[in-house]
Amino acid sequence: MMSFLVNKVFIFQILYIVGISAESMSGTISAGRKNMDLFGVITIATITALGGGTVRDVLLGHYPLTWVGHPEYIVITFLASAIAMMIAQHIIKLHKFFLIVDALGLVTFAYLGSDIGFHIALNAVSPQFQLIGSMIVAVLMAIITGISGGVLRDVLCNDMPLVFQAELYAIVAAIVGVLHTFTMILNIDNLVTAILIILFGFIIRLCAIFRNWHLPKIKYFT
Amino acid sequence: MMSFLVNKVFIFQILYIVGISAESMSGTISAGRKNMDLFGVITIATITALGGGTVRDVLLGHYPLTWVGHPEYIVITFLASAIAMMIAQHIIKLHKFFLIVDALGLVTFAYLGSDIGFHIALNAVSPQFQLIGSMIVAVLMAIITGISGGVLRDVLCNDMPLVFQAELYAIVAAIVGVLHTFTMILNIDNLVTAILIILFGFIIRLCAIFRNWHLPKIKYFT
Amino acid sequence: MMSFLVNKVFIFQILYIVGISAESMSGTISAGRKNMDLFGVITIATITALGGGTVRDVLLGHYPLTWVGHPEYIVITFLASAIAMMIAQHIIKLHKFFLIVDALGLVTFAYLGSDIGFHIALNAVSPQFQLIGSMIVAVLMAIITGISGGVLRDVLCNDMPLVFQAELYAIVAAIVGVLHTFTMILNIDNLVTAILIILFGFIIRLCAIFRNWHLPKIKYFT
């Protein structure tokens, strides 16, 4: 049982590192298009990678922040940004590959975000709404963890956030959050369900990328 | 006395719900002009409605945030946004009506913000400046609670914040904050003074809307 | 020894007040170019001056924020903004003078930021990385304290943040953070080393201003 838990922790640590590396690279590419200097690029990369978890933890009062307690993640982010600068030409050719890696990161962030959100909300929500209320907070935190890094990247690059316009991105985070919260409520939150949820979210995201699935843009002004 | 307090709490809860609904609708309208998808619209609506109190509470370290402890407010925000999408055509015709509802929300947010700011600052400010210092913090929190939702809406829509350019908005929040802080210091903070302050702020805001009252734009570059 | 400590505290208080005054004036000038009203100008000025320390303390969960505990700094910020509006014509002529004052502020903010970051991280980082990890957090906090005010100013004025494009600014904060952290680790954190570090950072920043030192813009897209 113990080794089972360790395995889940270990797998999510790998996925988390994959996720922040992919986000750091995406920030590096965005900043590179904006004529920023070396410092600007690394800053945008770091904020893109670690911004989602940071916004979530600040909103939940969940201190210390991940990267304050584990500054090794900052080092990983820097390295990923440096590598992205060196292989920038190839990243553009490898565009689809990076979208896939980014999708893994998104799903991982959402899974971890709903975990933290659910447990903190359980103690904060008034008893009569405890389960449904904690679920709402958990799903919001899945979305916030998944997208805030990219939103901050776009605001700091003076663009309108892509996630508000583009294909299924936030909704994938929401689906992962909903499913993970159900497994926590039903007490079946284990390695198997975790992998199934991660895979399911990942596949939907891939469909959005490769089959152009997207949410409707509702034209309510004509 | 007890029922008296309950009544004040009850009235402010109604006003708060009116306020977040109006703000959510205003966010929905802004986002709709920006070609966002369904998710983007609801996100902007939620941030517009709940952003002011969130920024205030994060600055004060006042956890859990209102909507983490009461996720029912998130549901109300979503519903208001959905309604706004359905009646968008009419909202534009009802423009003045929504400005009036928004004014009620602004004044309510400012009143509640100065309450929380004052009480937290009382314990934080050094004794020699306690009253004047807490008053300054209370007024700032009235302003921050009143305007941050709209500022975040504009930043995320990649506009320059309206509140920095437009008619009397923040100053109404400041006036409400000053008056409410005086009633707290003078120990006359009750239902009657609350209603008088709310009404007074509301009337000034209506004058700004219908009589075009505004702050001077100081031309210090000629 | 006691009077020695008092002197260090006193000198940093003076430097801090110089710093927030300079930042407030720089915010006033930026906002004045954007056709904002009186309220908008003062808000931008205040956020520019106090935003760096605020972002740092929110990220560290370090409450109450400086200006909640010491609202007198808010008053100083307001006064500096009012003075800047009155002498705006001269500020433009005195451009270089203000850059110099701003440089003093930057270096001071970075010094104070690394102090707080280091001590909070010491208790948060896992033991095997304690010193190197706390150093990384301290340097990040030096940078965050130094630049966040200006970044918020630019985002709220709907510009792309200057600090990501311009001459050596953040890197000066980083250098100050690194040096100060070394003095804390080596237990030689006293008035003499503090003054040397402040002077050293100040001189590098002056070289950036007057000799146009800057970081390379890496062209990784050709």
Nearest chain B Cα to C46, which residue? B140
Burial class (CB in 10 A: 0-12, 13-18, 19+), A188: exposed
- Lookup: tokens for B181: 């802080």
**pLDDT for the residue numbered A189:** 92
**Total CB pairs under 8 A between chain A and B:** 97
H/E stretch holding A84 reads helix A72-86
**pLDDT for the residue numbered B77:** 96
**Residues C22, C99 contacting (CB under 8 angstroms):** no
Q: In a 3-state reduction of DSSP, which class is residue B218?
A: coil
Distance of CA A36 to the CA centre of its chain: 25
Chain C residues touching residue B136 (CB < 8 angstroms): 71, 74-75
Rounded to whole angstroms, the Cα distance separating B171 from B88 reads: 29
Rounded to whole angstroms, the Cα distance separating B152 from C155 reads: 11
CB nearest A215 (choices: B33, B38, B74): B38
- Lookup: tokens for A127: 């008893």
Token match 């449904």: residue?
A132
Chain A residues touching residue B35 (CB < 8 angstroms): 165, 217
Helix axis angle for A130-156 and C130-156, nearest 10°, is: 70
- Lookup: tokens for C148: 């966040």
Note the pLDDT tens digit of each residue in B150-206. Answer: 889 888 887 777 777 666 888 999 999 999 999 999 999 999 999 999 999 999 999
Residue C2 has pLDDT above 60, yes or no: no
**pLDDT for the residue numbered A217:** 66
Distance between C106 CA and the closest CA of chain A, angstroms: 16
**Total CB pairs under 8 A between chain A and C:** 98
CB nearest A54 (choices: C59, C129, C163): C59
Nearest chain A Cα to B31, which residue? A164
**pLDDT for the residue numbered A1:** 44
Task: List Cβ neighbours of B111 (8 Å cut-off, separation of 6 or more).
Answer: B12, B142, B176, B177, B180, B194, B197, B198, B201
Note the pLDDT tens digit of each residue in C84-114. Answer: 888 887 776 777 777 888 888 899 999 999 9
H/E stretch holding B189 reads none
Nearest chain C Cα to A87, which residue? C220
* CB atoms near residue C54 (< 10 Å): 21
Nearest chain C Cα to B132, which residue? C71
CB nearest B68 (choices: A121, A216, A222): A121
Chain C residues touching residue A72 (CB < 8 angstroms): 129, 133
Distance between A197 CA and the closest CA of chain C, angstroms: 30
**pLDDT for the residue numbered C220:** 65
pTM: 0.91
**Residues A84, A189 contacting (CB under 8 angstroms):** no
Note the pLDDT tens digit of each residue in A88-138. Answer: 877 767 777 778 888 888 999 999 999 999 999 999 998 888 999 999 999
Q: In a 3-state reduction of DSSP, which class is residue A216?
A: coil
